[in-house]
Structure 1
Amino acid sequence: MSDDESVETPPVKPVLRVVKGDLTPEELAALVAVIAARNAAAAHAAARVAKRPRSEWGHPARLVRTPHRFGLDQWRRSAWG
């Protein structure tokens, strides 16, 4: 390929498009900053939820417990599995 030939790239779809109105560059920058901050806050909140430890109350292993044995003091040991 020589230097004269240009490589064509497919057109990129814009992430944000102003449909109505006439924005100044400062207003457009403020709009982009607000949207970026909102997306960052949502990603941060999703990351915090993902790191939360899972509750053991709903764990499937609780369904596979050994049956209770009858006898003296077994009511105390019934919670130990």
Structure 2
Amino acid sequence: MTIKVLRGNPTPEELAAALAVVRARAAAAASVAAAGAQPSPPDAWSAPERLVPRPLPQPGPMSWTRAHWPA
């Protein structure tokens, strides 16, 4: 891997910090790809069941009567 500075005059500490970030990201991406990690399941806060705890009324001739009444 080659990193070239095109503009500016970074200090050695700034270059070392940038290189550490690039290497850490590359290592993390390689370990995820090598492990074949599955994406984590969504947590409960994003689950649709939390927002609608009961089943929605199914379409039908009288479904409009059940639309706003609690179960």
Higher radius of gyration, 1 or 2: 1
